A and B are shown apart, each in its own frame.
Chain A
């Protein structure tokens, strides 16, 4: 396969930056994260210069790791780290080697990414900061890209990253994987962050379609990484909700192409061209879901995956919406969330009709929530146009992005015409 030279370095940066940082940190401590990022950035700068002059080496990835390794070890010799960490080991005489080592085998790269994933999702770090930190040190997004994806400023992202790294240092988080006892609780936190990361991409109002897709795929990669973890005894993590989260993300991601049109506008589910749904992702989701259900456990991700599965089914049948409604009932009984409550009311309308669903929706008392007013606007269409317009207008005021306003304005326009 010919390598696209013009795009090679950005591609490698996205692909390898985070792995290299994780690798260095897992050897020298997560408190060295800034130093590690500097070393890796310098390595990429060196690549840009050297490859520009001498041409791209046969194995560019290998080149990067070799140079990063040398830069790290050279840098460390003059560093406080070396004095404090490595020298102590040397004095103890436990090691026959005078040089500190950096293992760049594929197994160790995977392992250090996992360690980094658990460190980033440490409960001491606010969730919002976890997402930014994950994008930076696990997904290799640039500060610019993170700001764009999360629709905020670079200064904001820098602040979040700074605070998150401070927390990592202060809380003494280490890059060791939790033991079997601590694993369950820590894994809960990891799954929440990974799902949040996915949703940031999936529901992001950022106009950059590729960036949003990358974010979703990165979240899926991180979840997949969890399936490769082997505990101390060499056993895989068999928590079924890791697989149900993967299934959920595959089912959702199967509609990534269909839910945005060429002009970057959001296409609602009912109007999507199901020919654009990605059947390969649906199939992968199915096989993850089978694994998730093997163990007989039931988590919120199982229920959400089942709901997402029904959405991959083309066409409208009463059976489809009855099942979706039942699943939302069960999901809400397990854990309340406003968005699940609103989706349930929508499913209720699809099964029992708009008029029956209006009291269900109004009973939610979510005044001031954009989706609450959009839903009620939708339900009142054809029932009471005046109330429909009223709710759409409230939604229009609450909408924060151009894409949302465009969808709602079209709705109001169609009410007025009818």
Chain B
């Protein structure tokens, strides 16, 4: 089996207010989705959520600016690492991801490159 990163991408500018009840519900969705992958013994790493506040954009010549959101249409808000036979199977696992629920988010599936892989 190979390892794949499932990277969650959302369009920028989705700053809508979320009620605590909705937050609770979203958390439940995420926990059930990741728990389901773990229950199949396919979860390698619970990964990380990536925040928005205090993020920086560092360019050449020491140029640092706040947040990338004026320059890109979407940003990455987290990732996990799963185990699958191939990309298709990893994509199957990604299908239940709660990031897709709003109809605007996407999951990018990328194989992790092993140190001895020179492809």
Contact = CB atoms under 8 A, between A and B. Distances in A.
A binds B: yes
B3 to A, nearest CB: 15
Interface in B12-58: 28, 31-32, 34-36, 38-41, 43, 46
Given A326-B28, A329-B32, A341 B40 contact: yes
B36 A363 contact: yes
A329 B40 contact: no
A365 B40 CA distance: 8
A329 B34 CA distance: 7
Contacts of B32: 325, 329, 348
A336 B40 CA distance: 8
A340 B39 CA distance: 8
B35 A336 contact: no
B31 A332 contact: no
A365 B39 CA distance: 10
Contact of A360 (B28, B39, B41, B43): B39
B39 A341 contact: yes
Interface size class for chain A? 10 to 19
Contacts, number: 45
Chain A interface mostly: helix
Nearest to A345: B39
A329 B41 contact: no
Contacts of B28: 322, 326
Contacts of B41: 336, 341
Chain B interface mostly: helix
Interface size class for chain B? 10 to 19
Nearest to A365: B40
A340 B31 CA distance: 15
A333 interface: yes
A326 B28 CA distance: 8
B43 to A, nearest CB: 6
A392 interface: no
A303 to B, nearest CB: 12
A333 B35 contact: yes
Interface in A314-364: 322, 325-326, 328-330, 332-333, 336, 340-341, 344-345, 348, 360, 363-364
Nearest to B35: A329
Nearest to B93: A363
Contacts of A328: 35, 39
Q: Which 9 A-B pairs have the closest CB atoms?
A: A329-B35, A332-B38, A341-B39, A336-B41, A329-B31, A333-B38, A344-B39, A332-B39, A333-B46
Interface of B: 28, 31-32, 34-36, 38-41, 43, 46
Given A322-B28, A332-B35, 13 more contacts: A330-B31, A330-B35, A332-B43, A333-B34, A333-B46, A336-B39, A336-B43, A341-B40, A344-B35, A344-B39, A363-B40, A364-B40, A365-B40
7 contacts: A325-B35, A329-B31, A329-B35, A330-B35, A348-B32, A363-B39, A364-B39
